[in-house]
Every structure is written in structure tokens, then in C-alpha cells.
Amino acid sequence: MGFAHNNVLHKNHFRKDWQRRVRTWFDQPGRKQRRRTARRSKAGLLGARPLKHLRPAVRGQTIRYSSKIREGRGFTLTELKAAGVGRKKALGLGIVVDHRRRNLSEEGRDLNVARLKEYVERLLVFPRKASKPKKGDCTGDDLKAETTRTQLVLPDPYVHEKPRKITDEERNFKAYRALRDGRAQARHEGKRKARQAKEVGISPQDIKKLQEAGLHTVEAVAYTPKKTLCAIKGISEAKADKIISEAQKIVPLGFQSATEIHMRRSELVCITTGSKQLDTLLGGGIETGSITELFGEFRTGKSQICHTLAVTCQLPTSMGGGEGKCLYIDTEGTFRPVRLLAVAERYGLNGEEVLDNVAYARAYNADHQQQLLLTASALMAESRFALLIVDSCTALYRTDFNGRGELSARQGHLGKFLRTLLRLADEVILPSHFDEFEADMIPLSTASRLL
């Protein structure tokens, strides 16, 4: 029988010198006085420094607490860069930095950037030696200005509105009904699409056959020639016409205005190579939605750039990244995860997360290299990938195709590989990047001359 509530203690035989086995807290008033004295002495030793470090304003993790704002662990690298404060400088100014935290909304990022800028504007940095002030230190009358040691208060999370009259639209809106309809529509979206496809003569089995052939998106089906669809087992000529007709209703393949093309290209991002000079030569970095080729002699750093891009593509767009994962096809066995960890340490990223975001595959022949692109298209349809690296592109073609007698077959196979790369870039709007060194002469109709 256990003890519960305010009942009588049974078998309460306090023997064996129980006074020495009981903990009492009769010294609380004295401890309170000692803590107060310790705080006062510590504040005196701090001098003019703030009593607390500056931390970001973040919201709770669940729906229950997401409406409240509290102090977070530290500012992100994106927030520091937008506010113009370096990472090492922030640590010396009492600003806490957390390289693991990520900004998931522009509102939260702008709020903390404004918080950093307000803190820097109000901050007074006293020089170590008044006779030799450094850059950014206070001088003259600023040293005699009134200061406060209290930290910036957290912003008000609520947007206060003036009282107004409720409109008829707001009065007639049914929030519960709208939520139920939205959930039902999302739950039955797959069945609705399957039913629409079946009405036009496309069954789920046909969709599965297209996916097995490497066509995982509507764009891929629209860009595929009719004879390629007819070559798939179980797809007749009439069914291929229906599939192409329905795909072209969704994907525009006709003429478009230059304004639409300009708006689409303005949304493309460039992934930094890690070198400001090289980014300037490339117009900002590796452009998305296109193929970028690296060529040069042996040991000139092409694979190192590939390893760097595999990490920088995971950075936020504000830091020159693509906010996505990386696909790495290796044909020569030069992939080294240790290089990725070194680059991740440079940018302050978590090494384990960087390695998990890189999907690696080793290609052993030209046909296998082509087959890996079909697997890559399936992965791109499931998750967000920002970069596809092939290192190198023509190494296997030099061994699988020998002599001038196989030159035509070699060029046809290589052209098909490059066309598949370009199709993937058009489908998912990602940069498709491969690296090359020391190759034979290739006609200019297929690719540029590789050294």
C-alpha cells in the first residue's frame, strides 16, 4: 500500500537517528541575500557591458505556442549577413550565434535583422586604450553619453487593429466547413486525378509503365517523342497519342511572349562556387536550369569544385545556395566525403546533415551511366534537389567505344546522355553540372572541345 494524498502515515516508526537523514531548508533567507550580493558584485565587474546576451525572437514549435514570441538560442548566419555583422564580430559584441538554426519564413528573418540593426545602432563600444581607439570604437563625447545595461525587449507578437465593423463576407464565412472541405479535397486528390486519367483512357497501370521507363513528371511525358512512348511495352500508338494530348494540355509547348520568358529566367538562382572571382566570371555562379561544363588538364581542381558545389547548393538562397539536395554520379571513383565535411565546416554547416543530403552513385559503364539518370529523375520527383553532378562525363565513353569505327555510336550515345541531362534541367529547373578532363576531339555539334 503506497502513500497518497493527506492520509495518515502507516508504520511510522522513526528510529535509527532519523534527524541525520532529513534534509531541511531553513537557510533560504541567507541564500537569497548571498545571491543578491553575488549578482551585485558580478554586475560591478561587468562594467558597461549589457547584463544579458542578445538573442533572436522566435516562435514556439507547436500550434499552441506558435502565437507567442520568446528568445531563441542564437541568430542564424543569414540574419547576421543581412544585418552586416560578421560571425566573429558578433561573438565579441554579445550577440549569440547558432549555425544550426535555419530561417523558415521571411517575416521571422526580417524581424531578427531589424533587431540586430537596432542593437548595433544603439551599441557603444569602448576602446581598450583611450589613446589608441580601433575602427568602430567610440571616441569623444560618445564616451560620456548616458548608457543603459538593459537588453532590447521582445517585439509584440500581436498585430493590433482598430475596431471596425464586421463585413457580410466575414459573417457568412464558415471556418469549420472550409477546413473540412480543404482536408477532404487534399485526401481525395490522388483518387480524383486517377479518375480523370481513366476517363481519357489512361489507367494507373499505364502511369506505372511510364514511371518504370523514367518518365516521372508531366513535363517528361510532354517532352518525349511519340516513338519513344510507343517503344514502352504495353503502350500502343493510340494510347501514346492520348497521353501526349493530355500532357500538352497541362504543359505549354507553343509560343510564349518574351516577357514570360524574362520573368521565368529572373526567378532562376545561381549557386556559388566558393570563390568570389569565379562567381564574377560566371555571372553569379552556376546557373540553374542549364548545363555547366568544366574542362581542363589533370589535377587542376575540377573535382574539388564539384565537391564544393555539392555543399554550397544546400545553403540558403541569400547565401548563394539553392536550398536543396545534391545528386553525385561518379565515374572514376574520385568522390571523397572528407572534402564535403571540410567545406561544410567552412560554411558553418552540420557535417552529418550535409552528407545525408548528398545522393551518391558510382557508374561502371556508359549504359549504367545513362540508367542512373532515370533513377535520378525518380528521386527528383520525390524530393527537392538543387544540383546534379557527373564527374566525369566522357571517361567511360573513352573505354567503352574504341577507334573511329565506333565514333558514330559513341557520339549518338553521348548526345542522348546530354539530351537527357538537359531534359531533367527543363523539368525540375535545377542546375545540371558535369566535369571533364583530357578527352578526345568531339564535334562541336555535340559539345565544345574538351582538353
Preceding peptide of 383 cis, ω within 30°: no
Distance of CA 422 to the CA centre of its chain: 23
The C-alpha R_g of the chain, in whole angstroms, comes to 32
Q: What percent of the chain has pLDDT over 70?
A: 91
- Is the pTM higher than 0.85? The answer reads no
User: pLDDT per residue over 47-57, tens digit each?
Assistant: 677 778 899 99
Can you give the length of the chain in residues? 451
Q: List the Cα angle 113/356/312 in 5-degree steps.
A: 45
Residue 437 is predicted with a pLDDT of: 34
Tell me if residue 292 falls in helix, strand or coil.
strand
Q: Confidence band (pLDDT; 50, 70, 90) for 3?
A: low
Q: What is the pLDDT of residue 274?
A: 86
Report the Cα 31 to chain-centroid distance in Å: 49
Sign of CA dihedral 23, 27, 29, 30: negative
Q: What is the mean pLDDT of residues 295-318?
A: 87
Specify the pLDDT at position 98: 94
Count other C-beta atoms under 10 Å from residue 400's C-beta.
15
**138-152, 170-184, 243-257 — most confident range:** 170-184
Q: What is residue 14's predicted lDDT score, i.e. its pLDDT?
A: 64
Determine phi and psi for 58, rounding to 5 degrees.
-125, 165
247: cell is: 500532357
Q: Minimal CA–CA distance to 392: which of 312, 288, 295, 273?
A: 295
Mean per-residue pLDDT over the chain, rounded: 82
Nearest Cα neighbor of 417 from 440, 383, 382, 447 is: 447
Q: Quick one: three-class SS letters along 325-385?
A: EEEEEECCCCCCHHHHHHHHHHCCCCHHHHHHCEEEEECCCHHHHHHHHHHHHHHHHHCCE
Q: Which of 409, 407, 406, 436 is nearest to 421 (CA)?
A: 436
Characterize the bridge pairing of strands 69-71 and 57-59.
antiparallel
Let me know: does 138 contact 127? Beta carbons within 8 Å: yes
What's the gap between Cα 412 and its chain centre? 37
Which residues 6+ apart lie within 8 Å of 241 measured at CB? 226
Predicted local distance difference test score (pLDDT) of residue 360: 92
Summarised one tens digit per residue, pLDDT across range 389-432 is 998 888 888 888 887 888 888 888 888 888 888 878 877 654 44
- One-letter amino acid at 231 equals A
Confidence of residue 436 (pLDDT cuts 50, 70, 90): very low
Place of cell 548616458: 146
Q: What is the pLDDT of residue 200?
A: 66
157-166, long-range: CB within 8 Å, 24+ apart, which pairs? 157/59, 157/67, 157/68, 157/69, 158/67
pLDDT at 442 over 60: no
Using CA atoms, how far apart are residues 95 and 120, in angstroms rounded to an integer?
A: 10
Q: Buried b vs exposed e over 117-133: b needs ≥16 C-beta within 10 Å?
A: eebbeeeebeeeeeeeb
Upper half-sphere CA count for residue 94 (Cβ side, 13 Å): 17
Tell me the range of 123-132, 206-215, 344-353 where mean pLDDT is highest.
344-353
CB atoms within 10 A of CB 322: 26
Smallest CA-to-CA distance from 325 within 310, 339, 336, 340 is with: 310
Give the whole-angstrom CA distance, residue 154 versus residue 151: 9
Cα 285 to Cα 270: distance, rounded to the nearest angstrom: 5
H or E stretch covering 118: helix 106-122
Closest CA to 116 of 70, 57, 73, 47: 57
Residue 199 predicted with pLDDT over 80 = no
**CA–CA separation, 90 vs 83, rounded Å?**
11
User: Is the confidence at residue 60, as pLDDT, over 50?
Assistant: yes
Pairing between β-strand 385-391 and β-strand 432-435 as defined by DSSP bridges? parallel
Average pLDDT over residues 169-180: 93
If one counts every other C-beta atom within 10 angstroms of the C-beta of residue 392, the result is 26
One-letter amino acid at 165 equals: K
| Percentage of the chain modeled with pLDDT above 90 | 22
At residue 72 the predicted structure's pLDDT band, cuts being 50, 70 and 90, is very high
| Whole-angstrom distance, CA of residue 251 vs CA of residue 243 | 12
Residue range 359-381: average pLDDT?
Answer: 86
Q: How confident is the model at residue 253 (pLDDT cuts 50, 70, 90)?
A: confident
Taking 60 as the threshold, does the pLDDT of residue 89 lie above it?
yes
pLDDT at 433: 44
Residue 20 has pLDDT above 80, yes or no: no
Question: For residues 390 and 293, what is the distance between their CA atoms, to the nearest angstrom?
Answer: 10
- Which pLDDT value is given to residue 1? 54
